[in-house]
Chain A
Amino acid sequence: MKHTLIVLVENNPGVLSKVSGLFSRRGYNIESLVVSATDDPNTSRMTIVVDGDDKIIEQVSKQLHKLIDVIKVQDVTSQETVDRQLLLIRVATDNNTKSEIIQLMDIFRARVVDIGQKSLTIEATGDEAKIQAIIKSLKPFKIKELVKTGTISILRSN
């Protein structure tokens, strides 16, 4: 089962490699990892999606917590969260398919952010399921390039 961990770390050099090294070293299956700044310049925030049973996730959390630079580890899997990925995808088009793609993207509330002779680029945000659905719907049009971020999560207010 996939778990989402929110990890607050000291904004020190080397901390990302310490965290990512821990995952490969102990054979944990990491799905995605996003690091970003926070409102506190000394603190960075990681959202880590990791696959494993409860026992493995417990070990992951404990081992993460053992790293001196890790301030807080929170498993938010069972909590209400807002989850987002960002997708940029460039799809091949011609005059016949252009409007079809644009209509399709309206359904997903995705936006066209660049358009050329032979392709157009779409930006979309959403949770894992929505992003996968968008990618699936664009497959028939020939995807020329695709890039997406891992998931970032934030707790919903009570």
Chain B
Amino acid sequence: MRLNGAETLVKTLEDQGVEIIFGYPGGTVLEIYDALLNSSIKHILVRHEQGAAHAASGYARATGGVGVCLATSGPGATNLVTGIATAYMDSIPIVFFTGQVPQAMVGTDAFQEVDITGITHPITKHNYLVQDIKDLPRIVAEAFYIAKTGRPGPVLIDIPRNVSMDIAEFIPYKKVEIRSYKPTTQGHPSMIKKAVQKIQDSKNVVFCTGGGVIHSDASDQVKKIIDLTKGKVVSTLMGLGAYPADRKEFAGMLGTYGNQEANNIVQGCDCFVALGMRFDDRVVGNPEKFAPNATIIHIDIDPAEIGKNIHADIPIVGDVKNILIDMIKLMEKHQAPHESINFIHPERVPPVLPGRNVPWILKKLSEAAPNDILITTDVGQHQMWTATYYDFNKPRTFISSGGLGTMGYGIPAALGVQVAKPNQLVIAITGDGSFQMGMTEIGAIAELGLPIKILVFNNQTLGMVRQLQHYYSNQRYTGVHFENKIDFVMLANAFGAEGYRIDDAMNAPAVLEKALNNGKFTIIECTIDPENLVLPIVLAGKGLEEMTKNP
């Protein structure tokens, strides 16, 4: 079978089981778009390439599969960059395809030429510039393999237009074999033994779920090990949902904006078990003061994360799930009667006062929402409130930009999530700042008729930056106020969406109830006080337990 490069690509994608591509066309991907016309793969047309990248991320995170994204050369490719970096920081498996000018023109500063493999070296797990149509099936197969195995991450394939047009005999590439890439998946038995011994000898064990628990689908194993050890659980932002928030052992998110109780138990524990996490600076606070009395057991699939930010007393490299399975086996074999830890479970969050404030509206949302609701957020105060006040009980239900902190992530990510899960309710929680960065995809959502809900907390302020200025710039507020008032209801209507406004806190339950059940794309605006602060917080240089409650 003789195919051109574009047909070869599409055929290879079909063989990979790809069903959805998020993309935006252009001159160097004409042939690929043409080939997609004859394919079972559905193309979702976004409004901006960055939206395609975030949508692919939402899709990958909701399904646990690999997201696929397609853009043209030059600006199409550079518009992906923020989305690629976002995926890289949060270890999300996405394969990006970009068109490139024909090989004969590469390096001539041709129209819409950019060195996208050069630009994306630091923010991809790996990338390729295809030089020959014969390499295409192998490169695509390798890209999917690299994206989803080991520590997942984005991979980019840049395809010059002449490669898309070239014709060659199609030879499928069956088995991926990369001699220089063999991720360790099984933990070292002696380390596992040591860790189990340490956990059983400790009085106060805290397990911390990171994003790796979700990537490796290890929630059941975490539950099992908690049952066996009677340990407590905290979570990073990326790990929320990995352990059910409604279980009593769960103390919430740790870190700068974490739950006070979570931070307290981490600082007081004698054994801290890090499950698929990387000790980000927002998680650790002052690294010198982190969990001062604890033996740190660090489990991660990426050896480079071990000892990078926090010294690991017992490092175990491998897949969290496999390691937990091995640990559980050992524990069941030599079960030491473990003392139940005195864990007085206080309310994870301080009491919430009724009013137009984010925690209270979120409480009303959780009362109105079905159990399987999928939540995306943007970045800022609303994100931290959602992370600390909303109960996430299942993995892959909280989808948010963690490492890069990308404003404008929530709305396009919701698009991808809803495409992946057409029968579940998807809500994007955002602020008016982030909304205006991600609003390009409102057009795409409206066109697709997706019944996504966008809950926008409007304070005409970049609340988190204002909060930083509050603490670190002597309350000299600058560049954080939006003077013009947007009518979000009219905006929704302009796109053919439903628009609601919560202008009285007492109406919130009714408005939310109506919005969640109308089956339509809906934007709900709730105005809030711009002076609200996310509290308590850990100020720069402090240990996690030294949270300030003072404005």
Contact = CB atoms under 8 A, between A and B. Distances in A.
Asked if A and B are interacting partners, one says yes
Interface of A: 9-10, 13-14, 17-18, 21, 25, 55, 58-59, 62-63, 65-71
Interface string B141-185: 000001000000000000000000000000000000011110000
B303 interface: yes
B121 interface: yes
A74 to B, nearest CB: 14
B519 interface: no
Given A14-B129, A17-B118, A17-B121, A68 B307 contact: no
A68 B304 contact: no
A27 to B, nearest CB: 13
Interface residues of B, number: 18
B308 interface: yes
18 contacts: A9-B180, A13-B131, A14-B118, A14-B121, A14-B129, A17-B121, A21-B122, A25-B122, A55-B307, A59-B308, A62-B304, A63-B304, A67-B126, A68-B125, A68-B146, A68-B178, A68-B180, A71-B180
B302 interface: yes
A10 B308 CA distance: 26
Given A14-B129, A59-B304, A62-B303, A70 B180 contact: yes
A68 B122 contact: no
B121 A21 contact: yes
Interface in B104-135: 117-118, 121-122, 125-126, 129, 131
Nearest to B306: A62
Nearest to A63: B304
A66 B117 contact: no
Contact of A13 (B122, B129, B180): B129
| Interface pairs A-B: 10 shortest CB-CB | A62-B304, A71-B180, A68-B126, A68-B181, A62-B303, A25-B122, A21-B121, A63-B304, A66-B304, A18-B121
B302 A66 contact: yes
Contacts of B307: 55, 58
Contacts of B118: 14, 17
A64 to B, nearest CB: 9
Contacts of A58: 307
Contacts of A10: 180
A71 B125 CA distance: 15
Interface in B279-309: 302-304, 307-308
| Interface core residue of B131, B178, B181 (most chain A CB under 10 Å) | B181
A71 B181 CA distance: 7
B146 A65 contact: no
A50 to B, nearest CB: 16
Nearest to A24: B122
A9 to B, nearest CB: 8
Interface string B490-532: 0000000000000000000000000000000000000000000
A57 to B, nearest CB: 12
Given A25-B122, A65-B303, A67-B126, 6 more contacts: A13-B131, A17-B118, A21-B121, A66-B304, A68-B126, A70-B180
Contacts of B303: 62, 65
A14 B121 CA distance: 10
A21 B118 CA distance: 10
A65 B146 CA distance: 14
A71 B121 CA distance: 18
Nearest to B153: A66
Contacts of B302: 66
Nearest to B155: A68
B281 to A, nearest CB: 16
B56 to A, nearest CB: 21
Nearest to A68: B126
Nearest to A60: B304
A33 B181 CA distance: 23
Contact of A14 (B117, B122, B146, B179): B117
A143 B299 CA distance: 56
Nearest to A70: B180
Given A14-B117, A14-B129, A58-B307, A71 B122 contact: no
Contacts of A62: 303-304
A68 B149 CA distance: 12
Nearest to A14: B117
A58 B307 CA distance: 9
A18 B128 CA distance: 12
Nearest to B151: A66
Contacts of B129: 13-14
A65 B303 CA distance: 9
B205 to A, nearest CB: 27
A118 to B, nearest CB: 42
Contacts of B146: 68
Contacts of A67: 126
A14 B124 CA distance: 14
B179 A71 contact: yes
B180 A69 contact: yes
B546 to A, nearest CB: 27
Contacts of A55: 307
Nearest to A58: B307
Contacts of B125: 68
B172 to A, nearest CB: 22
